[in-house]
Structure formats: structure tokens, C-alpha cells
Amino acid sequence: MIAKIIEKTSRALDAPYAELLDGLPDEGTINVDETGHRERGKQFWTWCFRPDSYTVFCIDKSRGSNVLIDVLGEEFDGVLGCDYFSAYRKFMGDFDIRVQFCFAHLIRDIKFLIKLDPVWKNFANRLLKKIRALFRVIHRREKMTAEKFQARLEKARAGILKVGKRPPPRTEAQNIAKRFRDHGKAYFEFITTPSLEPTNNLAEQAIRFVVIDRKITQGTRGPSDREWCERIWTTIATCAQQRRSVFDFLHEAISAFFDGRSAPSLLPNTT
């Protein structure tokens, strides 16, 4: 009985889910994250795509850039907010995609250097000092003119790159420097893209309840379970993002399904 209810609800959410999924390639900015997912002992991955006004979850066997190609396409013209994971770098490099790498992850990696060696500690502290200067500018944006704010951002960026590209001759510090040499621009896309955040916190926050769900349920049992999770997680996260009632939306979608009417939309300002 429960399985039948879940199946019907999943079908009722097919159209709203597909509408959001189809709209992702046209978004200007999208934060992305992924987390592990288990199905009958096999490893899958839950991907979270979070534009400004909705969230989409996809479960896939792959954690590679092919998922990004399938979902966003090779001609994606927006900016991807993400961590430094290799799949995002490959997607970026293969198709000249603009990316905003997460500063929070970068700071975490720099702080790790402090625990390793006094020489690295000096380099890490100098770099963190420059990054703190950047965020002080960001936090004071309301007190500056647009021109002054932009000038201060540019100055802070130059300071970070100057220190970051000149590490001590040790492997771990060189790895941080290589990020700036190879992908320095991708840490500062937010400077010229006003709606973009310098961290990937939005996607990480959106995917948090999925991680909790995984620990409670121990994963899915097959394709129909996967589809149900994708659709109900997408509905819950999007309704929360838009301050809509999940219950009211599900009631409307299920009623429409059984009455043979068109399903409601999860896009904003369409209901």
C-alpha cells in the first residue's frame, strides 16, 4: 500500500521535476555539490543543483563530469559555484565553463598547512591575512560607492594572488600556489557577477537534509526509489527556498494527477 502511494506521488511530481531539470542549462548562476548515496550496497551519488530560486536533486552512478554534461550541457553559459573537486575542473576545462571555486574550502585547506610545519605556517598566515582583507571589503560594501567597492575588491584580489603564487618550496604549499596559477581567475568570478557568492554554502546547506535522510533510511532499493527521492527532495528544498508550503504543493500536485489536470509548477511566481 505504501509503495503504491509513493509511486503515485512520484508520478504526480514528474512534470514539476522535469520542468526544473530542463531549466537548469539556462540559469545564470548555479551552486553545485554532491554527496554519497547507497543502493543495495552499491555506490551512487546525489547531485544538488541550486540556482537562485529552486533546487534540483539528481541521483547518478557517476561522480564524474559526465553528470554535469548531461544536466547542464556542453554550452552552459552561466557560472558554476562549486568546490575544487576534479569533476568541476574537468567540466570547466573541457568546455570553457566559468566557475567560482569556494573560498570556504580554500581557507580550510590553507589552515591545514598551519598544523604541518613552521615554514608553511608563515605562508598560510600571510595568505589568510589577505583573504580576511577581502572579506572585510565584502562585509562593508553598503558603506562604499559601487566604484570604491569594485576598486577595493580588485586590490584585495591582487594581494591574495601575489602571496598565493609565491609559496615556500614545499609540496603542500606548492599545491595551494598551483591552484592560483592554474585557476586564479575562478576564485574571483563573484567580483564581476553580483548574484554569485564567493563560497558554495548555498548548495552545501541545501544538501544537508539529504545527508541526514541517507543516514536514517540507509539509501534506496531501486530505480523507482531513486526517482521518488529525486522528486520529493527537490519539492521539499524548492518549497523551502520559495517559502511555500510543501503540504499545499503536494496536495495540489496529487489532486491534479488524479483529476487528469496539468501539474502545478515549482518555478516561482507561477502558481
- To the nearest 10°, report the CA torsion of 70, 190, 267, 243: 130
The residue among 137, 155, 187 that closes a domain is 187
Task: Indicate if the pLDDT at residue 249 is higher than 60.
Answer: yes
88 lies in the same domain as 212: yes
Q: What are the tens digits of pLDDT across the range 197-235?
A: 999 999 999 999 999 988 888 888 899 999 999 999 999
CA dihedral sign of residues 37, 42, 43, 46: negative
200 neighbors 48 (Cβ within 8 angstroms): no
Residue 1: pLDDT band (50, 70, 90) is low
99 neighbors 79 (Cβ within 8 angstroms): yes
Tell me if 148 is assigned to some domain: yes
Tell me if 48 is assigned to some domain: yes
130 lies in the same domain as 240: no
165 lies in the same domain as 210: no
Tell me if 195 is assigned to some domain: no
Task: Indicate if the pLDDT at residue 37 is higher than 90.
Answer: yes
105 neighbors 84 (Cβ within 8 angstroms): yes
pLDDT recorded at residue 239: 97
Q: Which of 97, 53, 109 is nearest to 71 (CA)?
A: 97
Q: How many domains does the chain have?
A: 2
89 lies in the same domain as 131: no
Task: Indicate if the pLDDT at residue 63 is higher than 60.
Answer: yes
Tell me if 90 is assigned to some domain: yes
Tell me if 173 is assigned to some domain: yes
114 lies in the same domain as 91: no
d(CA 188, CA 152): 13
86 lies in the same domain as 216: yes
The residue among 157, 187, 217 that closes a domain is 187
The domain that holds 11 is classified in CATH as 3.30.420
Q: Which of 95, 92, 94, 73 is nearest to 84 (CA)?
A: 92
12 lies in the same domain as 90: yes
235 lies in the same domain as 182: no
89 lies in the same domain as 208: yes
What's the domain range around 107? 103-187
The residue among 135, 158, 187 that closes a domain is 187
Tell me if 7 is assigned to some domain: yes
Tell me if 193 is assigned to some domain: no
60 lies in the same domain as 169: no
Tell me if 194 is assigned to some domain: no
CA 105 distance to own-chain centroid: 12
Element (H, E) at 37: strand 29-39
Task: Indicate if the pLDDT at residue 270 is higher than 60.
Answer: no
165 lies in the same domain as 207: no
pLDDT recorded at residue 271: 47
User: pTM, whole model, 2 decimals?
Assistant: 0.92
pLDDT recorded at residue 50: 98
Q: Which residue has the higher pLDDT, 239 or 115?
A: 239
Question: What's the whole-number average pLDDT of the chain?
Answer: 92
Q: Which residue spans within 74-217 are E strands per DSSP? A: 79-82, 98-101
The β-bridge partners of 57 are 48
95 lies in the same domain as 206: yes
